[in-house]
Structure 1
Amino acid sequence: MKACVFGGNLSVLVNGCPTGEINIQRGLKQGDPLALFLFLLVAEGFGGAMRTAVEINLFKGFSIHRDGPSISHLQYADDTLCIGEVSVDNLWTLKAILRGFELASGLKVNFWKSCLMGVNESDDFMEVACSFLNCIKGRIPFKYLGLPVGANPRRESTWSPLIVSLRKKLNSWGHKHLSLGGRLVLINSVLNSLPIFFLSYMKTPAQVIKKVTRIQREFLWGGVNGGRKLSWIKWRVVCQEKKNGGLGVRDIKLVNLSLLMKWRWRLLQREDVGLWKDVLAAKYGNHILMKAVWPSGTIPHNASLWWKDICRLEDCVESKNWVEELVVRSLGDGACTGFWYDKWMGGDLLCTKFPRLFSLSLQKQATVRELVEVDGDRKTWNFLWRRSLFIWEEESVNQLLALLENANFSNLADNWRWVGDPDGVFSVKSAYETLMKDMVIGPSLLPFEAKIFSKIWESPTPSKVIVFSWQLLYDRVPTKANLILRGILPIENGSNCVWCDNIRESALHLFLHCKVAIDVWNAIFKWLGVVIVLPPNLFYLYDCLSDAAVNKKSQKAFRLIWHS
């Protein structure tokens, strides 16, 4: 380790040229790949001291439940959050540990950058405690790792830093002349990535979603520095995938739900262990680790707003049972799968499919393993009913037994499967794509039109040209007809074509059916050596040019000409 820390060399770039190497004699420098590991090694020393203090009862951490874990500190790199009961003993122990850490590591704690916060404590005690630790008095909510801890996620003020950062980023681009294609690239690469950290933890209020969407929409259509421009196409269409006729801009609300769904999925994974799962299980019960969907009655009225939002993801979209449909049981030995309440046979829950039998059952909470005896390929089901069954009820039992013949058992433990992915593993991408399928966007595209929308993005044409072609296919370009329709151009000025002055100037006429456009296309066809009768619309023209090509190379060139 000493060789790693003191054995490095560095050189300085002067006008782009490196100077001679300098031997490092005073440890790692900022930016060295090993510097991060050194932070972790040193921070682990402090964490070990805190754990030892808790074990010998010198420091009392905070516990949500008597059977839950005791939390004394949280660490991430060089950011540390100490948590404990309010007592003088805790203050003495904490100060002693911090002083010992300084002497052992050589890293001095900057108390003036540290703060002490109390929950439901008197101001007098807090003043004495802050004076004792030589630190400032903090307030809740406070920021830790970039997130506001203790803030109400349903207030717009909590999301103000996000809105400010988005507007600040836009102001830096406001003076630049960006095409529509360039603005689209910036939205997809930058504006959509800025709020990801917030969206992955807190449910976004509707008003904040509207503000963020408005910022993106105005920037896309050219409005900067508070200006507004005409939105030619509905934002829901813009958010569709490119293969479905959109621009691929991610919908903020659906991204938020997809990211929050990851917490629900991680709760169900036994191999995904962590302190956060232990804390949630201690506060809300172990059933949250075994059920994909929780009835509303199981959510405590005093639960945190964050937990209520996580539990009610189903209510945020029109398809209210989307979580139940996408998270299903993959049967192993049946020990952890509820016979009636878990979706393990495909389709509906058995309690829903056989409501009469469920009402008569004395084993409503039983697992699959408790109801079956497996002997090789033979399965015997043991049901208990609260009374003798009628003949028609016995027929329902026979239907149930016929369905259960398809059950396959193994020696493996039961697990959960994500229907939205072929491998059965959850991903934010698959969750977003599934939610997008249920998004209503108005008139649906014909399969032929959807194919053309997908093909236009495969061209090597610059993005600004492709985006204009996309607008053109929707007839959402600033022709006279569209400008008059939106009240921008006075109808008294006339709507006839600027070239022929005979027919109403629409996108289809201007680019395909006008005499000037016809002459241009005929000249192009003659130059290419193809014979094409002008089709009724631009979709068919794109398809005709593609079919006229003799090979893939010429097909790519013909499609490029269509864009031009």
Structure 2
Amino acid sequence: MESISHQQFVDDTLLCEQSSLQEAKVIRRTTNTFCRATGQQVNWEKSEVLFFNTKGNRQQEISNILGVKMGTLPGKFLGTPLFGGLNHTALWNNLIDSCANCLEGWKSKWLTLVGRIMFLKLVLSALPIYSMTALKIPKKVISYINRGMKKFLWNGKETTYKIPLVAWDKVCQSKQARGLGFWNWTLLNQAMGAKLIWQIYSHQNQKWTQILKHKYLDQMSRERIFTINALPKGSAIWNFIVSCRHVITEHITWELDNGTSAKFWTDSWDGRLALSERQSLEDIKQVTNAQWGEKVGDFLTKSRVHGVDLCEWKEVDNLPLTSHHKDLLKTIMQEYTPTLSNKEDTLRWCGSKSGQY
């Protein structure tokens, strides 16, 4: 995989280089040349240099050459925590302060109940969204945000305390369920993490998905991110993505094409419940896996009659099974109409008509 030399987002530029004096001089010389040629200027006062696995004296030398201050971790980027190690509550103090300042800037006593509801939905609820797209928000942070929202909602005046009229979990339910439709932060956080893991599967050409796949999945096929029993641990972002995998895996099905990816017994395919979840079929499963294989395509035979490709289930009577198990397997096969093509099987999310999460 090619190394990354730079990344750009809006008006920010991130340069990734080796910790050497020579490269530091090249960066400074190149940026100066760019400024002279374009008339633009680099804000060196806002710029920082971060070091990893670099000796202290070398850090100071490089910082002097670049003319920027040395940054430290943990820090933040666009309000999102940047850190190494565990995801502690203290790393989210910036978000907590932003929510507190947002509420303090408004006097709830001047707003009606409807006005306070709209404020919480349209203003306060937007603050944590960006950070939640890439990291798991600690429970204590969610508790603090909910506590502030509850106080703002029910206390018509700052100096008074009113007992909440409705439990907060009911307030967060949808309007169809007679709630107010406030976000359930835990579920929203999981949904956003699930979005990332779906993009790793479906957007193979994006740079960030290539980085994560190269680091944690190596040469595995892309669907293995859903089917492997235990994914490796890693960075805070990767661990967050892995923790949200169940949102996808509990609601996906294989769309059969060539039948070489979907497992006959243990996978859901063509929108049907996995056969292993319907009843105890372990004895039949062991025999068919040994005699034919475990994929749906292994259970089928292809033939061509009068120029038309036909697909049929294999003959069950030749298997070393009891009569009862043979009849049971035939019954299962009669419930499905086999159709195969030359394309690869693809995973679909059952929560949308398009099959995309």
Between the two proteins, the alignment pairs up a number of residues equal to 347
Match of 2:284 in 1: 357
> Which stretch shows the higher mean deviation, 343-352 or 165-174?
343-352
Does 2:163 correspond to 1:243? no
Match of 1:284 among 208, 216, 226: 216
CA deviation map 1:123-164 (0-9, x unaligned): 111001101111111112332333222255631112111111
In the TM superposition, residue 211 of structure 1 has moved relative to its aligned partner by: 1.0
Larger radius of gyration: 1
In the TM superposition, residue 177 of structure 1 has moved relative to its aligned partner by: 1.2
Find the residue that maps to 1:378 and give its secondary structure: strand
Does 2:176 correspond to 1:253? no
The alpha-carbon distance between structure 1 residues 325 and 196, as it changes in their structure 2 partners (threshold 3 A), is: same
Distance in structure 2 (CA, Å) of the matches to 1:70 and 1:91: 18
Distance in structure 2 (CA, Å) of the matches to 1:125 and 1:175: 54
Does 2:328 correspond to 1:401? no
Structure with the larger RCO, 1 or 2 (CA within 8 Å, 6+ apart): 2
Find the residue that maps to 1:129 and give its secondary structure: helix
- For the 8 Å contact 1:417–1:425, the answer to whether it is kept is yes
The alpha-carbon distance between structure 1 residues 310 and 420, as it changes in their structure 2 partners (threshold 3 A), is: same
One-letter code aligned to 1:394? K
Matches within 5 A, 1:110-125: 110-125=43-58
Matches within 5 A, 1:477-488: none
- Superposition RMSD in Å: 3.0
Distance in structure 2 (CA, Å) of the matches to 1:165 and 1:335: 51
Does 2:311 correspond to 1:374? no
- For the 8 Å contact 1:294–1:311, the answer to whether it is kept is no
Match of 1:86 among 14, 19, 22: 19
Match of 2:130 among 197, 203, 206: 197
Match of 1:429 in 2: none
Match of 1:329 in 2: 254
Gaps of 5+ in 1: 1-67, 315-320, 427-564
Distance in structure 2 (CA, Å) of the matches to 1:374 and 1:337: 17
Matches within 5 A, 1:29-428: 68-151=1-84, 154-174=87-107, 176-222=109-155, 228-270=161-203, 273-285=205-217, 286-287=219-220, 289-291=222-224, 293-297=226-230, 299-301=231-233, 303-313=234-244, 322-352=247-277, 354-360=281-287, 361-362=289-290, 367-369=295-297, 372-375=300-303, 376=308, 378-381=310-313, 388-403=320-335, 405-426=336-357
The alpha-carbon distance between structure 1 residues 363 and 198, as it changes in their structure 2 partners (threshold 3 A), is: farther
Find the residue that maps to 2:30 and give its secondary structure: helix
In the TM superposition, residue 371 of structure 1 has moved relative to its aligned partner by: 5.3
TM-score when normalising by structure 2: 0.85
One-letter code aligned to 2:302? V
The alpha-carbon distance between structure 1 residues 135 and 364, as it changes in their structure 2 partners (threshold 3 A), is: farther
The alpha-carbon distance between structure 1 residues 150 and 235, as it changes in their structure 2 partners (threshold 3 A), is: same
TM-score when normalising by structure 1: 0.56
Distance in structure 2 (CA, Å) of the matches to 1:341 and 1:415: 16
Find the residue that maps to 2:164 and give its secondary structure: coil
Gaps of 5+ in 2: none
Find the residue that maps to 1:417 and give its secondary structure: strand
Find the residue that maps to 2:334 and give its secondary structure: helix
The alpha-carbon distance between structure 1 residues 98 and 357, as it changes in their structure 2 partners (threshold 3 A), is: farther
- For the 8 Å contact 1:292–1:323, the answer to whether it is kept is no
Distance in structure 1 (CA, Å) of the matches to 2:348 and 2:290: 29
Between the aligned residues of both structures, percent identity stands at 27
One-letter code aligned to 1:326? H
Match of 1:546 in 2: none
CA deviation map 1:35-77 (0-9, x unaligned): xxxxxxxxxxxxxxxxxxxxxxxxxxxxxxxxx3311111113
CA deviation map 1:95-116 (0-9, x unaligned): 3332332233222323332111
CA deviation map 1:343-393 (0-9, x unaligned): 214343345554333334248986544654434463245699xx9444444
Distance in structure 2 (CA, Å) of the matches to 1:362 and 1:306: 40
- For the 8 Å contact 1:170–1:224, the answer to whether it is kept is no
